């Protein structure tokens, strides 16, 4: 145990109340307190910012600890080291004497060491007859051991803060990446939403991210970014649910129609229904066909019948659509179309290529259904240069479909007929 006497500074260095209190606190070491000096030194290095010491001062403390003969600092043993200025300078990486004195003062001011000056200001040890140390004058490491628990707590707190800040930076990076990719997906899929406002908010927040991030300035920005990301995810999920519901409704409608024994789709799949249009194989006679000669098609053609379910389009088998519109297959995933999902993906690509605006295509999907809108895009592509403005043509078909004045059967049939023109009969 160190002596409880107070040592006043040698020479012109004044005594102060703060110095007195630091000396008394440094002597207040609980009995049996021990620490590995190098582990405690690492804790001091980790807690450097909280203790108010510099890296050069830590170099001097490292040198002082090297003069202590044991690895364990113990309250039961003497804690005073007494190196000469020359030896201390060598172990402090050749630090100049003036610089050494300045950083020793920093360690004293930080309460990590204290001075125990001799009557003449020199550092030395007085030994007894048995060779043990009776009295030593130099620098006492007692304050360092007395504050060991405090230093370790400060180091643990700062380490936890660094880990939390690192985790926040990682969340911020992931959140920024998510928002950028979600925005790109929303634009590519033509999802309705206030994407311009979200993009503006996002870029404004990016400008506010400080160069030196701390636990005080980073959490509010991260919270706002995560709010934007959550809003975007909710909008995209709502759009996906609407697509699934629309697809299920379309599939249910096809199931009902295909189950009807009176439906022409059993004998002529994909060419129409009695409520939409009928392709007559034989010439028709009667007053309702008195102008067949003017049509020049030998009495064959499509006869429109009133539709009681006007406003709802009938879907056709995928095979029929691909037979009528083979060009769309080039734009499918891998240059082929094997499902309705592939067709709808190809339709988005074609829509961009033909400069059809996202709102126009979104409206078509809403009115006709996603599958039928994709079928219409395939038909428009197949007609090629026959359509001047694909966007205007799609909007017109969408309005007609909403009024119940448009059916897919005649359009597909016309394309099939163009591919396989009827053989003229030889008179």
Compute the distance between CA of residue 273 and CA of residue 262 in angstroms, rounded to an integer: 9
Q: Which CA distances in Å does 332 have to 131, 209, 227, 244, 379?
A: 93, 42, 35, 20, 15
Burial 281-312 (b: 16+ CB within 10 A, else e): eeeeeeeeeeebeeeeeeeebbeeeebeebeb
Nearby residues of 128 by Cβ (< 8 Å), 6 or more positions away: 134
In the block, which residue shows the tokens 């009295």?
Answer: 135
Neighbouring CB atoms inside 10 A of 80's CB total 23
Return the closest-CA partner of residue 188 out of 364, 390, 396, 361: 361
The H or E element containing residue 34 is strand 34-36
The pLDDT score that the predictor gives to residue 24 is 57
Backbone angles phi, psi at 389, to 5 degrees: -125, 105
Running DSSP on this structure, what letter comes out for residue 398?
H
Selection from 156, 142, 138, 140 nearest residue 44 by Cα: 156
Query: Token pair for residue 296?
Result: 């020049």
Express each pLDDT in 306-316 by its tens digit: 333 434 577 78
In DSSP terms, 203 is beta-bridged to none
pLDDT in tens for each of the 427 residues of the chain? 444 455 655 445 555 556 556 555 656 677 778 999 999 999 999 999 889 899 999 999 999 999 999 999 987 778 889 999 899 999 999 999 999 999 998 998 888 988 887 777 788 777 777 766 768 888 989 889 988 999 999 999 998 998 999 999 999 999 999 999 998 888 887 788 888 888 889 999 999 998 888 889 999 999 999 999 998 898 888 877 766 665 655 455 444 444 443 333 333 333 333 333 333 333 333 333 333 333 333 333 333 333 334 345 777 888 889 988 999 998 888 888 989 988 998 999 899 888 899 899 999 999 998 999 999 999 999 887 778 888 999 999 999 999 888 888 888 888 888 866 544 443 3
Please, what's the b/e burial string for 97-127 (b: 16 or more CB within 10 A of its CB; e: otherwise)?
eeebeebbebbbebbbbbbbbbeeeebeeee
- What burial class does residue 361 get, using C-beta atoms within 10 Å of its C-beta: 0-12 exposed, 13-18 middle, 19+ buried? buried
Torsion angle (degrees, nearest 10) of CA 309, 315, 317, 321: 130
Residues 6+ apart with CB under 8 A from 335: 329
CA 192 to chain centre: 22
Assigned token pair, 325: 């519109």
Q: How far apart are CA 356 and CA 392, in angstroms?
A: 8
DSSP state of 287: G
3-state secondary structure of 422: coil
Tokens of 96: 């100049």
Cα–Cα distance, 136 to 117 (Å, whole number):
9
For residue 248, report the phi and psi dihedrals to the nearest 5 degrees.
-65, -40
Lookup: tokens for 411: 């359009």
Q: Are 230 and 179 in contact (CB under 8 A)?
A: no
Read off φ and ψ for residue 173, nearest 5 degrees.
Answer: -65, -45
pLDDT of residue 185: 86
pLDDT, position 253: 47
């Amino acid at each position: 145990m160190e002596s409880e006497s107070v040592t006043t500074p040698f020479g012109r260095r004044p005594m102060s109340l703060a110095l007195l209190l630091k000396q008394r606190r440094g002597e207040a070491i609980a009995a049996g307190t021990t620490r590995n000096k190098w582990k405690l030194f690492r804790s001091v290095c980790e807690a450097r910012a909280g203790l108010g010491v510099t890296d050069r001062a830590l170099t001097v403390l490292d040198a002082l600890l090297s003069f202590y003969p044991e690895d364990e600092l113990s309250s039961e043993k003497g804690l005073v080291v007494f190196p000469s200025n020359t030896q201390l300078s060598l172990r402090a990486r050749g630090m100049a004497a003036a610089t050494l004195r300045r950083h020793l003062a920093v360690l004293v001011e930080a309460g990590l060491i204290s001075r125990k000056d001799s009557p003449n200001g020199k550092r030395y040890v007085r030994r007894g007859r048995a060779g043990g140390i009776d009295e030593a004058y130099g620098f006492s490491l007692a304050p360092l051991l007395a504050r060991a628990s405090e230093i370790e707590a400060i180091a643990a707190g700062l380490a936890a803060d660094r880990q939390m800040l690192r985790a926040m930076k990682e969340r911020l990076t992931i959140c920024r990446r998510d928002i950028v990719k979600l925005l790109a997906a929303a634009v590519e899929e033509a999802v309705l939403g206030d994407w311009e406002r979200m993009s503006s908010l996002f870029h404004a927040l990016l400008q506010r991210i400080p160069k030196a991030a701390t636990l005080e300035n980073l959490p509010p920005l991260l919270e706002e970014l995560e709010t934007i990301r959550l809003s975007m995810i909710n909008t995209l999920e709502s759009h996906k649910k609407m697509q699934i519901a629309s697809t299920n409704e379309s599939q249910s409608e096809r199931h009902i129609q295909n189950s009807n024994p009176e439906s022409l789709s059993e004998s002529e799949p994909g060419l129409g229904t009695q409520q939409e249009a009928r392709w007559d194989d034989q010439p028709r006679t009667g007053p309702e066909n008195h102008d067949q000669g003017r049509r020049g098609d030998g009495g064959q053609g499509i006869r429109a019948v009133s539709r009681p379910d006007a406003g709802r389009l009938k879907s056709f088998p995928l095979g029929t659509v691909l037979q009528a519109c083979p060009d769309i297959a080039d734009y499918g995933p891998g240059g082929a179309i094997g499902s309705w999902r592939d067709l709808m993906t190809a339709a988005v690509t074609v829509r961009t290529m033909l400069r059809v605006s996202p709102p126009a295509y979104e409206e078509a999907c809403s009115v006709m259904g996603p599958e039928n809108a994709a079928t219409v895009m395939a038909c428009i592509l197949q007609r090629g240069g026959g359509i001047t403005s694909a966007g205007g043509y799609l909007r017109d078909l969408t309005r007609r479909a909403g009024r119940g004045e448009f059916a897919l059967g005649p359009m597909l049939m016309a394309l099939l007929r163009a591919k396989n023109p009827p053989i003229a009969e030889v008179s």
